[in-house]
């Protein structure tokens, strides 16, 4: 069996008083088409990673687009089985929690396609920032990227003000898993006076889908919020990546050789990153 996985987000106004109704509708359309995965629902739109067989998935996506009178670009991949166990719709106060006020969320940074991204990163005076959390960056990132070592996305504004003030007049290139975190973050950056702000359209997932490994500037694998754990170029599953069942931190093959690792019990990250320190379901969304 081949299962197609669709990752997408869309900003569209939804009446806050109708969120419970919309949750019920989304769950119904997912179950009708035998679709599994997670949709985050807020007054500002949808953020999702869902999966199913090709034709039912296409029908589900078409129904969602018609329901909200919107269009969006998906990042698609395939897997030999369902990477989710249930159909879930979660109502959230916001799709991604930046932790800082944004006055105009539509004034985002300049979108770059994966190939335009490669061209930018070859230029001088570019500050490259990974906006994801430490349990994600542990598995991989772009060559030369700054890792802010954050445990939650809403820690990023404070990090930026403390460590990146020097970059306000430089080219600041940002990236995340699927693109939605950078939508919020780049809008905030522009309000803070950063003048040349860019972000990778479609995020790492689109980059790994479109850029051949021999042309890639990516190193390692990309954490995803489902049973695959992490993917590499072409969205091939990284079979060596896993999660600690105790603290939730990502694990590489090297982590499994640590003297602090006990299979199914704990890992070398447990003391530094207890579960209360971050929320793996924060999900700069589902992606």
Res 280: pLDDT: 47
Res 286: pLDDT: 58
Cα dihedral angle (87, 91, 95, 98), rounded to 10 degrees?
-130
* Predicted confidence band of residue 273 (pLDDT cuts 50, 70, 90): low
> Tens digit of pLDDT for each residue in 78-111?
999 999 999 999 999 999 999 999 988 889 999 9
> Tens digit of pLDDT for each residue in 8-22?
999 999 999 999 999
Q: Which residues contact 239 (CB under 8 A, 6 or more apart)?
A: none
Mean pLDDT of 266-275: 77
Q: Which parts of 176-263 are beta strand (E)?
A: 196-200, 218-220, 222-223, 230-231, 242-243, 250-251
Is it true that domain 98-287 has CATH number 3.30.559.10?
Answer: no
Element (H, E) at 209: helix 203-210
Res 243: pLDDT: 93
**Residues annotated catalytic, as ranges:** 176
Q: Which pTM was predicted?
A: 0.91
* Predicted confidence band of residue 1 (pLDDT cuts 50, 70, 90): confident
Fold of 3-91: Alpha-Beta Plaits (3.30.70)
C-alpha span between 103 and 22 (Å, rounded): 27
| pLDDT value at 281 more than 50 | no
> Tens digit of pLDDT for each residue in 122-170?
999 999 999 999 999 999 999 999 999 999 999 999 999 999 999 999 9
What percentage of residues in the chain have a pLDDT greater than 70?
Answer: 95
Residue 31: phi, psi to the nearest 5?
-65, -35
- Answer with the residue of higher pLDDT: 226 or 287: 226
**Range list for CATH 3.30.70.100 in the chain:** 3-91
Give the chain's mean pLDDT: 93
**Range list for CATH 3.40.250.10 in the chain:** 98-287
Vertex 285 angle, CA 165 and 81, to 5°:
135
Res 66: pLDDT: 98
Element (H, E) at 199: strand 196-200
């Amino acid at each position: 069996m081949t299962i197609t996985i669709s990752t997408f987000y869309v900003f569209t106004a939804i009446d806050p008083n109708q969120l419970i109704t919309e949750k019920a509708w989304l769950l119904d359309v997912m179950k009708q088409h035998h679709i599994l995965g997670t949709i985050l629902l807020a007054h500002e739109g949808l953020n999702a990673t869902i999966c199913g067989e090709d034709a039912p998935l296409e029908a589900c996506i078409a129904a969602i687009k018609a329901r909200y009178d919107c269009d969006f670009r998906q990042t698609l991949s395939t897997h030999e089985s369902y990477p989710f166990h249930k159909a879930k719709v979660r109502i959230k106060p916001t799709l991604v929690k930046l932790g800082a006020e944004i006055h105009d969320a539509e004034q985002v940074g300049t979108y770059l396609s994966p190939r335009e991204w490669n061209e930018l990163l070859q230029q001088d005076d570019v500050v490259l920032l990974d906006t994801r959390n430490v349990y994600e960056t542990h598995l991989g990132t772009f060559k030369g990227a700054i890792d802010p070592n954050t445990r939650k996305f809403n820690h990023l504004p404070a990090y930026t003000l403390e460590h990146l003030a020097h970059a306000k007049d430089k080219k600041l290139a940002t990236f995340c898993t699927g693109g939605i975190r950078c939508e919020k973050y780049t809008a905030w950056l522009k309000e803070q006076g950063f003048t040349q702000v860019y972000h990778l359209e479609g995020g790492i997932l689109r980059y790994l889908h479109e850029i051949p490994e021999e042309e890639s500037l990516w190193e390692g694998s990309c954490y995803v919020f489902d049973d695959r754990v992490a993917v590499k170029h072409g969205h091939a599953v990284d079979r060596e990546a896993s999660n600690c069942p105790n603290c939730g931190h990502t694990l590489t093959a090297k982590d499994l050789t640590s003297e602090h690792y006990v299979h199914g019990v704990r890992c070398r990250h447990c003391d530094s990153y207890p579960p209360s320190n971050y929320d793996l379901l924060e999900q700069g969304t589902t992606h």
